[in-house]
Chain A
C-alpha cells in the first residue's frame, strides 16, 4: 500500500521511544498487561454499545411480544399472554397480506435493481473518454434522501400536474390504483438504488483479471460470448453480495411507502415495515408491534440464511 515509507519511519521512531520506556521496570508489567489486553479493550466499547442499543432493545422486544402491555403501565407490569400476540398476528389478514406483498416487492425491486445495475456497470466499465463523467453523474440518485426523493416523485406522478403524465400523454392515477401504486413505488426504488448496485459491480469488474478476456479475444470470441462465459462467472461473488445487500434493504423498505402511499390503496403497498409502524405508533399497540417486529426479524434472518446456504452449496470453497 502507499505510504509504506512514511509508515516505516514512524515505526522506527516509535521503536526508539518504546525501547527507552522499556527500561522502567514498573511500567513494564502494567503496560505489558494492557498490551496483551489490546484486542479485548479495543472491542469493549463496541460490545457495550451493541448490547445497549441492539441487544437490550431486542430482548425487551421479545419479552414485550409475550405480554399484554400498554404504555400507561410501567415496563415490566404487563400481563403474560403466551403466544397470544403471535396468534393474533397470524390471524390478521392485513399482516398476512403484508408478508406476501413484502416478499413480492423485494423480489421485483432486487431483480430489477440487479439487472439495471449490471447493465450500468458494464457500460461504465468500458474504457472510453469521458466515461468518468457518466460515472460521477449516474450515482447521484443514490445519495438523495429517500424521503425527499419520494415526495419529489409524488409531484412528478401527480395525475393532473405531474410531468410524467404529460410526457406519456395519458392521465394515469399512479398512486391511486392498487395495480399501479406498488409498481410506482418499486420504480422509484429502482431509480434510487440501481446506481448503488452499479457501483458494487463496477468495483468487481475492475478487480477482475484481464488474462482470460484477452485470451478469449485472441481466440476470436465475440463480446457477448466473452461476457456470458467469462465475465459473468468471475463476477459472481460480487453479484451475490449485491443481491444479499439489496435484499436486506428492500425487505425493510419504509420511507418511500410512507411518503407516497401510506400503505394503500386497498392495502396494496402495505409492506411489513409499514404494517409494523402503523400497529406500533398509530394504533399504539406496542406489544403487537413487538411481535410483528420479531416476525419480521425472523423472516429476514431466514431469507439471508437461505441465501448464504444456497451460495455455499453452489460454490465449492
Chain B
C-alpha cells in the first residue's frame, strides 16, 4: 500500500517524488559507501592505500586477490565453509521441513510444546549453548571436527526452517492434499508428490537464509574448529582482531571474497529471500 497518486497537485507530486529520490540516493550513498571504499582498498597496492589524501582515482591492481586465492589457508577455509554450510542446511531441511508440515497441518499432542521449544531455541544466545556443547563434544572427541560445527549450526537453522516453512504451509490451501487423501493416497505420498512441489519457493527461501546464517557464523566455528577445519570467518578474525597492521589490501580482498558468494546467491534468489523473511516473521 502506498499513497495513491491522487494526493495533491501535480506539482506537489513532482516535488514529493524528487524528495523521495533525493532521500533514497543519500541513503544509498551512506549505506553503500563503506562497501565501495573497502572494495577500493582491496584493489590498491600498499602504497596507494596509505597515501594521504586518499586516492579517488588510481590504477587498480589484482595483486591482493591473487595473494589471497593462492593462499592455501584461504582455500582450505573456503572449502570448510562450503562443507559446513551445506551440511547444516541439508540436515536442517531434511529434518525440519516435514516437521513444519506436521505442525502446520495436524493438531497432535505436544504440538505447542514442540513449537514453543523451537521458539526458545531461536531465542537463545549462541554462547549459552556453546559452553556446554564444547565440554560435551570435547569429552567425546568431536571438537575440531566439521561435524561438531554442523550440529551446532542446527541450533539456529532448524528453528528457522520450521518457522519459515510453517508459514508457507499454512498459506497452502488444504484442498489439494485433502483431495489426494480422499482418493486414498497416504499422507507421506501426498506430502512428497503434492505439497512439496508447490512449496518450492518456500524451500528456496529457507535454504538461502540458512545458508547465509551458516556461512556467516563466527562464534561456534571459532571454538569448535582448529587450523585444518576452520571456516572463513574464523580465518578472517584471526588476522584482523587485535591490531590491524599494514596488510589492509590482503584483509579487504579476503573479506570481499568471503562475502561474495552469499551476496551473489542472495541476489539471484532475491524474491524468495524477501518472501521467506516476511513469511516466518509475521505468522509468529
Contact = CB atoms under 8 A, between A and B. Distances in A.
A and B touch in the complex (CB under 8 A): yes
Interface of A: 1, 3-4, 6-8, 10-19, 21-22, 31, 34-35, 38-40, 42-43, 45-47, 49-50, 52-58, 60-61, 64, 71, 74-75, 120, 123-128, 131, 134, 136-138, 140-141, 143-148, 151-156, 158, 161, 163, 166, 191, 195-196, 199-200, 202-206, 208-210, 213-214, 217, 223, 226, 231, 237-238, 241-242, 244-245, 248, 251-252, 254-255, 258-259, 262, 272-273, 276-277, 280-281, 286, 289-290, 293-294, 296-297, 300-301, 304
Interface in B7-39: 7-8, 16-17, 20-21, 23-24, 27-28, 31-32, 34-35, 37-38
B263 interface: yes
B62 interface: no
A45 B99 contact: yes
A7 B102 contact: no
A235 B41 CA distance: 41
Contacts of B177: 11
Given A7-B197, A42-B101, A277 B219 contact: yes
B50 A31 contact: no
Contacts of A231: 1
| Chain A contact residues, majority secondary structure | helix
Contact of A148 (B105, B233, B270): B233
Contact of B262 (A57, A137, A145, A276): A145
A154 B54 contact: no
Most chain A beta carbons < 10 A, residue from B28, B232, B258, B282 = B282
A46 B132 CA distance: 20
B232 to A, nearest CB: 7
Given A75-B136, A131-B24, A200-B278, 4 more contacts: A7-B176, A145-B258, A199-B278, A289-B131
Contacts of A241: 281-282, 284
Contacts, number: 357
A38 B4 contact: no
A155 B165 CA distance: 39
A138 B28 contact: yes
B164 to A, nearest CB: 13
A293 B180 contact: no
B158 A144 contact: no
B35 to A, nearest CB: 7
Contacts of A141: 31, 35
Interface residues of B, number: 119
Given A60-B136, A251-B125, A200 B244 contact: no
Most chain A beta carbons < 10 A, residue from B135, B184, B197 = B135
Nearest to B283: A241
11 contacts: A17-B189, A35-B188, A46-B96, A53-B133, A143-B266, A145-B216, A161-B52, A161-B248, A217-B3, A280-B131, A296-B125
Given A15-B183, A15-B184, A252 B118 contact: no
Contacts of B16: 223
Nearest to A205: B1
Given A1-B171, A38-B188, A145-B262, A195 B158 contact: no
B27 A145 contact: no
B194 A14 contact: yes
B83 interface: no
Given A46-B158, A204-B282, A254 B23 contact: no
Given A128-B20, A136-B270, A146-B216, A39 B106 contact: yes
A161 B135 CA distance: 42
Contact of A11 (B139, B171, B194): B194
B71 interface: no
